[in-house]
Each structure stands twice: as C-alpha cells, then as structure tokens.
Structure 1
Amino acid sequence: MIDPNRIANRANRNSSLNYDKLFPISKHSMPDTSLLPGCLPELMNRFAYHDRNAVNNLMERRDRIVRSFKTIFDQELQTKKYLMVGSGCPSIFDNGFTLMRNYGIPYIPASAFKGAFSHYVAQELEKDSLVKRNYRLLFGTGEKDDNIRGALIFLDALPRSYSLGIDIINNHFQPYYSDEKNEKAPNDYYDPVPVQYLVIDSGSAFRFTVLDDGNIGDDLTEELEKSLMNFLGEFGLGAKTSYGYGLFKKTK
C-alpha cells in the first residue's frame, strides 16, 4: 500500500511517473488512506511543472503533420470551467487522471476525442444532417460489420497552457450505499464524506486537430467544422459534462 508521508520526498519531475509509478509500496502495512487527500496539493504543484521546450517541440511536430494532410479542424480552445479526463483510470485516489507518459502533461487522447464525437454525431445530430449521412465514410463504422477505414484522422488534444486545481464532491449517504447490511434509510443523520480530486482549471488552452485523408469534400468539411465546434462548446469531453465540465470556447 502507499505511504502518503513519503510522497513529498520524491523529486522526479515527470508528473506521469510521480502519479503512476513512484509512490512507495509496502506489502506488510496499510497506512491510513485518509491521508491521501492531503497529498493532492503536493501532486498539483508537481503536475504544474512541465518542460516547455518539450511542449513546443510537440507543437512543431503537430504543425508538420498538419501540413501533410488536408485540415478539417485545427484550433486552440480554452476550457470554460474544469476538465476531467481519465477519472475511471485505476488510481490510488478516488478518481484517476490522464497524463501523457513521456512528457508528464495532461492531454485528451485521440481515441477519447474520436469516440465522444462519433457518439455525438450518432445520437445528437438530425437524420438529414450532412455529417450524419456520411457517418460510415467519416468513422468507418457500417451496419452488420460493413466497416471501412474512416476518413477522419483524430490527433491527441495537446495543452498549450494549463493550470490545475482541486474540486470536491460530497457523498451524503456513503454508509447506506457501501454496507449491504445497513438497514437504515438514507437521511440527514449520515455525515457527508468529502472526496477531493484533481481537475484541469478553467482558461487552460488545448489544441484540437482533426485531419482528412483526402476523401472528404468541401461542403462536408464545412459542416464538420461547425459540428466539432458545437460538440466541444455545448456537449464537451471527459467526465461530469452535465455539470459544465469539459466544455470549450475560442481563445480570446
């Protein structure tokens, strides 16, 4: 189990290693896990560090990739509120957090971006929408396993600048839900149990890039750009979008 008291003594600057690998493990003792939330500020300070030269190199590499394809969407957008990606990933904390392994920076994986947008197109757009009518062409998914290679190329959403914060949620009836033998109905006699977790703060800027392999016409390209902007601005990415998380707007 993790010894929270020793986290502060670790000096590695790669946030991904700090979060996923470098917590001390003991097979013979289980420390008080209630101390773990107190480690979040320490982690937040560490995650705030990143190699700016490495991020600039990532952006330059992104520029070279974009020049090699037809661009559908390539914009830097700001978070309206919080962003929470990877909350379901295994973690010693109550919620996970996604960090790029080699660079130690928060990001939105291309697979998550593509999956969320394809769901938006399939479930939210009208049947006569040009984008929805070309769903198989764009995403490669047909009926009865009639699949092809999708024409859209999604890239990881990379942070141009970001800050981190800690948000909280209160579980009001935790004993009722966690103990099967508990016969007491949920009511105000239970103490709320606060759960803290890391979030990407409002005003953080991410670069979203979607490319075309050459098979998408200009009319469809224009509609795709509108749909992507509406998806990111109104429906969002990551967890807790119904609470305003994961929504983006154009940078000032």
Structure 2
Amino acid sequence: MPHRAVRDNFRGRFDGVGENLGLKICKLNEKIDLPPDKKDGNSGGNKPENKEKALRQMANFRFGEESAKAYKIAFERLGKAAKAHADCEIFEIKTSTRVLLGTGNASVFEFGFNLNYPWGVPYISGSTLKGAVSSYLARNGGKDWEIFDGAEKSRLQVDMFGGRLQGDSKSYVGLVTFLDAWMCPWASRDGQGDWFDMDIITPHYTSYYNGEGAPTGMDDPKPIKIAALCPGLRFQVILQGPEKHRKYVRRMLWELLEEEGIGGKTAVGYGRFEYIKNAQERSEEIGKKIQDVELVSELVELYKAYKNINEHGVLFAEKLREYGYDSDSGIEGMWKSLLPLDYLAIQLNDDLIKTFKDLKIRYKDFGNNISHWKKRFGVTDLSKSPEGKKLFDLMLAKWPEQIYANTDTKVVNELAYKWVDLSYSADELLDIIEGEVDLRWPKRDKLREYIEGNFFGDELELLVVCLDDAGL
C-alpha cells in the first residue's frame, strides 16, 4: 500500500513565496512523488517536462531581499570568526566561466548541484577544494608529490591534506583544513536569476561510460540539460593551518583554479576562477605601478584611473616632483590637485600671479585642494610646513607692504610663520636684534614674548638687555 509523503501536507503552501532554492526543488516539488511511467519505468519526477521545470526554477530563482540580508549577516559572522584565529587565511575567488559543481550528487532530476543548508545558496565544499589541490600537486608538484607503487596518496599529500599511508591502518589529519567556501553577497542580474544559467552537456560515448564497450563513436549523442553557476559569482575561501603551509596551498589553489578549474567539463573551459586581490594587495599593486611609471603620459593615465584612492596621493605627488613642473606636459591639473602650495609658488615665481588680490582669490579657490593636501601629508599647520614657508617667503618678497598691512587675511594668517616656528639660537637672535640680519618676518613686536617664553638664565637676561637697548 503506497504511503503518502510528508511533503503532501505542504504542497501548494509555498508556491511563489519560497526563498530557499534547495527546499523549493528537493522537498516541495510535487513531481517527485509521481508513480513510475508505465512506458519506460522512470519515476514521474524524471520526466523531461518535470526536469525542465526544475531547471527553470534554478535559472530564474532570485533570493528574497530579507533572506539576503540575513544571509549577509551569517556570511560576515563566519568571516569575523575566521579572522579571530591567527592560523586562518581568508581570500575570495570569482567564477570567470560557467561552473558545474555537484553534478554527481544524487538527484531525482538527473542533474546535481551544491546548495548549502539552511540557506539554499550555492557553495563550494571544502572537500572539493582539498581534493582538487591534492590531485593537482600529485600531478604538478614535483617528484616528492608523486604517487608510487599503487598507493592512494603520497606522504606529502597525507601530511598536508590528511588520509592514510599505504600499509598503515591509521588515518591522519592534514596540516591544512579547507572550510566550505560560502558565496559572497551578490548583486541580482537584470532579467535573470541570481546564480544559475541553463546549459547542456552532450555525452558522445554513453555505452563506454556505462562500461559497455569501447568509445567507438557509434552511440547517438544524448543532450542533457543541466544548471551551471554563472560567471561573476564570488566565494570566500577559508584555509586553516600553519602559515607556511597555508600560503603554499593558497598559491597552488590559485594556479589550479585559473589553469585547470574544478567541477565538471573543465576540459572544455568550464570551472575556471580568478583570484580576487584584497584591499591591501590592490593598493600595493597600484603603488608599484605608480613607482615604476617612466613616461609623464603614463602617469597622467594612472592618475585618471586611481585619483579617487586617497592613499596613493603621496606617491603621485612624489612622482610629480620627480618629473618637475611643465605646463605643456598635461600634468598641470595634477599639480593643482596634489601639490597646490607648490603650484602657487611656481605661479608666483614665474610672475603669473600679478597682484596680491589675485593671490588671495587663487588661494581661496584652492581651499579644498589644500585641505586634502594637509590630510594626505599629515600637515596640521601650514605655516610649519616647508611648502607653506616657501610660498609665504615668495609673497613677502613680492608684496612686503601689503603682507604687513593684511595680516588678518586668510592667506597671510594661515601661511605666516611665527618666531616659535623658526627655532633661532640665542646668538642668531642677538644678530637680529642688533640689526645685523635683514629679517622681514616675523614681526619684531612679537620677539620679546617669544624670547621670554623660550629662553632662561643668562641667555634670557642677555637677550632682554639687548631688546631694551634696541627699543623692542
């Protein structure tokens, strides 16, 4: 007597609202429990139209917004937990081609897939990654990794990934542990489902695969529809173990994923991944490009590409100084943005700023650039910076009377250095007081205050006497 499946109690209740693809396909698909077809003996769930329905569900499935938020929280918690362990290595990989994973898993629809629990989101099992790297090293790792005398694994494979040695009944734990690679939070594709594309594989040697003779090519090809992970999906890989071994395995995994791939149909280009550099690696790569650039035109192009990344501003500025200023080289805009005070000093020196009024306007216009420059170089007081002092000295040489008369203007107030900024010795101050040094700035009316606050004992007494004699 046939028994009614438990899923019958839920049939129809989740139509249109199910947000777990694994549950939707494996547990709630009404076609699974159909009786065998009288003609071919296959289960009703194995009929082409039922398989087609499941494939469409996979290809068109979109994860619900609320479920995606919850998944993201779980994903981030996993990463945070891994980062708390000093022996963990975390990085991301991205599908660069379609990928077939879990195709050998048992399924009523004749095609397999990997969906994690409880989310129903695609993932790459740790055992898949470990097995792939182990096999790759056995073939490409050199003599020490080769397998001899019918053994299942070499000693290095057992040491690194675990398993049994030939003639040894014990099973050993490997040095490196592979956690399941969770899919990183994703962006929905326009007009398509989130993760899968419908695809076809066509076995040409069915009899041979079934152990029924040689691959003669006389069999009729049988197209089989499947669901493949689409390109552009990212996965978070977590390795755990000693640092030396982790980094070696990571490097081998990158090679494997790029050159050979994992999963089904790798021989025809499926299963390829690319390594996603982390923020530090990307920054180091960009920094090296900037340092190695040889032509001004190349520097301009790099700046256009990376000017919004603030951490590279210092490198760009140093490179600009290395090349020097040239109004015809196409880098004037870079000078204005990255070295605003130097640019204004060049303009003053070349007599391109004619009046003090023009300078005040230009300085005001450069306000944002100067603020960014201060932040980039860690400058808190412009008057204490070499660039600020140089610009102010040029101003002072060009318009001394106007500088003295406009000490409250923004440009003078921010750039004018003070006695305390100059660090004169007592002997140097004596020469200044006695008029032996022609010093235009700072104003001498602040000199006594500076001396009384920074000198002591005999030096202070001598300097004060000289100030009195000079009437200062």
Q: TM-score range by the shorter chain?
A: 0.7 to 0.9
CA distance in 1, matches of 2:68, 2:258: 27
How many corresponding residue pairs?
A: 231
TM-score by length of 1: 0.77
- Does 2:58 match 1:34? no
CA drift of 1:150 comes to 1.7
- Does 2:60 match 1:45? yes
Q: Which has the higher contact order (CA 8 A, sep 6+)?
A: 1
CA distance in 2, matches of 1:109, 1:64: 20
- Does 2:104 match 1:82? no
CA drift of 1:151 comes to 1.9
Q: Secondary structure at the match of 2:117?
A: coil
Structure (1/2) with the larger strand percentage = 1
TM-score by length of 2: 0.43
Match of 2:113 in 1: 97
Do the aligned partners of residues 27 and 56 (structure 1) sit closer, same or farther apart at CA in structure 2, a change above 3 Å counting? same
Q: Note the 1:39-188 alignment, pairs <5 A.
A: 39=53, 40-46=55-61, 48-50=62-64, 51-71=67-87, 73-128=89-144, 134-143=156-165, 144-145=168-169, 147-160=171-184, 161=186, 163-171=195-203, 186=218
- Residue 59 of structure 2 aligns with an amino acid whose one-letter code is M
Which of 230, 247, 252 aligns to 2:272? It is 247
CA drift of 1:67 comes to 2.1
Structure 2 unaligned residues grouped into runs of 5+: 1-10, 38-42, 146-153, 187-193, 278-472
CA distance in 2, matches of 1:194, 1:133: 42
CA drift of 1:108 comes to 0.9
Structure (1/2) with the larger helix percentage = 2
Across the aligned residues of Structure 1 and Structure 2, the Cα RMSD in angstroms comes to 3.2
Q: 1:55-74 CA deviation, whole Å, 9 max, x = no partner? A: 21232222233223235642
Higher deviation after alignment, 74-83 or 50-59: 50-59
- Residue 17 of structure 1 aligns with an amino acid whose one-letter code is L
Higher deviation after alignment, 88-97 or 145-154: 145-154
Do the aligned partners of residues 27 and 235 (structure 1) sit closer, same or farther apart at CA in structure 2, a change above 3 Å counting? same
- Residue 86 of structure 1 aligns with an amino acid whose one-letter code is G
Match of 2:354 in 1: none
Q: Secondary structure at the match of 2:57?
A: helix
CA drift of 1:114 comes to 1.7
Confirm or deny: 8 A CA contact 2:144 2:156 kept in the other structure: no
CA distance in 2, matches of 1:121, 1:177: 27
Match of 1:197 in 2: 226
Match of 1:3 in 2: none
Which has the greater radius of gyration? 2
Q: Secondary structure at the match of 1:91?
A: coil
